[in-house]
Copies of this chain bind each other. A is one copy, B any other.
């Protein structure tokens, strides 16, 4: 960890130096590489210099095709896809091992019970302890924090390398505990991808020098798109996600990089499946084969809209329970005291309890608990109606997969199983959300939505089985499952990209309109009356510095003026200061730019002086005596934008995140009275968050 932070510091220093040097970029690296020639004590001098030349040549060739950042984008996509694929592979192997062991113990109920419960409990405990001992920030989804980071707020702990490893390993353990704890991968994966993006940004900066900040935001937005894209091999919904996650304004300049990196990620992810002989060609992750002849009747659009409404009502219940549970865990003295010290034990106990409930011989066979999340989704998205299959099992083709039998256990119909699943799973999901380990909450919600959709679809198929005469126009409950998944997850997260994600995951363009209708209806109801989304709720409870969610929860915060917060200007230079009196500023102030005012009596802002430039000036004029005044030796850079104390915080935040300004000066009738940089902005938003 120390080595890394030293490395990062070194990089940052290099950047600072580079900003005032030639910005062509290539020179800096060449110089650095050539200057290392001096270390003549190092072995293999000749081969090292040859390799160095090769690297420089390759770089030259690459840069002649496209600028370096595009390679970084591609690399970001590829690395994330590799991570995603190998994570999936590891998790699949761990899940298989569990299933194999469980199968071996057939007939021994007690041993089976122990296998079923202890395996996930141990994995959850491992995940929690690992995450919390390495980096406590790695717990949870990471999307709420990522949203704040993408808007410009600095949260250094969340982008560290230790967090990356903790999250990666923790997530594998969480996913391997399977459908018992029922947690997903997307959210942490977006966070992981953003961490990789931050490292790519450093790589890019070390290649080019300068322009670090502006490019950083860009790389992180691209990384958020890549996260979704390489998780499911769905590039377009990745890009839509990156638009939605930005909250206020999406820079269209990021659009092409997002698409490019997302496509790189998605293609790599799917090609890896092809290489590993999972698939014959690049195909959708949950490929379905609905009848394309007549996918649905036009009147069914109304049923899809009703499904959207139903999903939104369920989502409101779920979100209410979720917020209640989070607040309960936080405020209940016993639990919070227990959690403060014994996070691992808490995880193990909760996972054990969940596993007890989902054990086949307790309530497991009521909710198809023996299926993994992938199998659940595959079974729910199946294009053949279970009603038709149960009516005449011999005449019609079997559903493509045999998982559906888990929904139709002996002695009970699939309606009962689905209904029980929908009723009980809300509670289980909410309990699982309180686990303090790296985990995603999107996929569980997606699968739950698919179950709701399937329920409505099977209901429609049952009710309308006589109404429609020709066999050609049978109702396809798989389509309802698809629309339900999109609608429910869209309602929970207040986003529309799940509609496209559902299409990309299943490869079913034919159901674009139903999925979109259901998602729009569910979003309309879920967003009404300033209800916070899933991520907003977490942001509010964790008091994260995310302004859009604060304003959504409490609209009058949009009018809070900046004068309500003390934002002193800090170190200030006077035009008439002599060079000697300036020295202390260089030592005290931590900012890169120092404002210059007219005089202390009327501090009219004239501009800023860069600290490194000031340092140069001082060195240049060291011999000429120190009586020279500042305005004579340094050029004062004009300030392009002034805020006034009446500016709202929202306005300042918007301008800073859109124009890429790192600090805004607050003036009143030309007189400097404050400065807002991202550090102050973070404090202001945190203060506002405390008031909500």
Residues in A lying within 8 Å of B, measured CB to CB? 66, 70, 235-236, 243-244, 246-253, 255-256, 259-260, 263, 266-267, 270-271, 274, 280-284, 289, 292, 294-298, 301, 496, 500, 503-504, 507-510, 512-513, 516-517, 520, 523-524, 527-528, 598, 604-606, 638-648, 651, 654-655, 658-659, 667, 669-671
Contacts and interface: CB of A to CB of B under 8 A. Distances in A.
B271 A516 contact: no
Contacts of A260: 520, 524
14 contacts: A235-B512, A243-B255, A246-B252, A249-B251, A259-B516, A282-B513, A284-B510, A605-B669, A638-B645, A640-B648, A641-B655, A651-B659, A654-B659, A655-B655
Nearest to A665: B642
A651 B644 contact: no
A646 to B, nearest CB: 4
A235 B519 CA distance: 13
* Most B-side CB within 10 Å, residue of A283, A504, A509, A659: A509
A244 B244 CA distance: 15
Contacts of A598: 669
Q: For the complex of A and B, list the 4 residue pairs with the smallest distance between their C-beta atoms, beginning with the closest.
A: A670-B670, A638-B646, A642-B642, A509-B509
A645 to B, nearest CB: 8
Contact of A274 (B70, B280, B298): B298
B512 A236 contact: yes
A509 B251 contact: no
B301 A267 contact: yes
Contacts of A283: 295, 510
Contact of A669 (B247, B270, B520, B604): B604
Given A646-B640, A669-B598, A252 B250 contact: yes
Contacts of A256: 496, 523, 527
Contact of A271 (B284, B298, B647): B298
A297 B281 CA distance: 6
B509 A507 contact: yes
A688 to B, nearest CB: 18
Nearest to A245: B252
Given A249-B251, A252-B243, A644 B642 contact: yes
A645 B236 CA distance: 42
Contacts of A669: 598, 604-606, 670
A127 to B, nearest CB: 33
Contacts of A640: 643-644, 646-648, 651
Nearest to A274: B298
Contact of A524 (B66, B248, B252, B270): B66
Nearest to A606: B669
B510 A255 contact: no
A567 B297 CA distance: 61
A454 to B, nearest CB: 21
Nearest to A654: B659
Contacts of A527: 256
A281 B252 contact: no
Contacts of A292: 289, 292, 507
Contact of A507 (B267, B271, B510, B647): B510
Contacts of A274: 298
A641 B642 contact: yes
Contacts of A252: 243-244, 246-250
A271 B642 CA distance: 53
Contacts of A503: 509
A420 B32 CA distance: 55
A186 to B, nearest CB: 19
Given A496-B256, A504-B509, A509-B284, A243 B236 contact: no
Contacts of A647: 640-641
A513 B270 contact: yes
B654 A658 contact: yes
Contact of A249 (B236, B250, B500): B250
A669 to B, nearest CB: 5
A379 B280 CA distance: 29
A298 B281 contact: yes
B248 A244 contact: no
B644 A266 contact: no
Nearest to A562: B640
A288 B258 CA distance: 29
A293 to B, nearest CB: 9
Contacts of A295: 281, 283
Contacts of A246: 252
A503 B66 CA distance: 28
A302 to B, nearest CB: 12
A615 B639 CA distance: 36
A659 B655 contact: yes
A659 B654 CA distance: 8
Contacts of A509: 284, 503-504, 507-509
A604 B670 contact: yes
Contacts of A671: 670
A250 B259 contact: no
Nearest to A643: B641
Nearest to A280: B294
Given A256-B496, A509-B507, A667-B670, A638 B642 contact: no
Given A267-B513, A524-B66, A640-B648, A496 B259 contact: yes
Contacts of A266: 513
A516 B644 contact: no
Contacts of A638: 644-646
Given A260-B524, A282-B513, A508-B509, 18 more contacts: A66-B524, A236-B236, A236-B500, A236-B516, A243-B243, A248-B252, A248-B253, A249-B249, A250-B251, A255-B496, A281-B294, A281-B296, A282-B301, A507-B509, A640-B651, A641-B651, A642-B644, A670-B670
A667 to B, nearest CB: 7
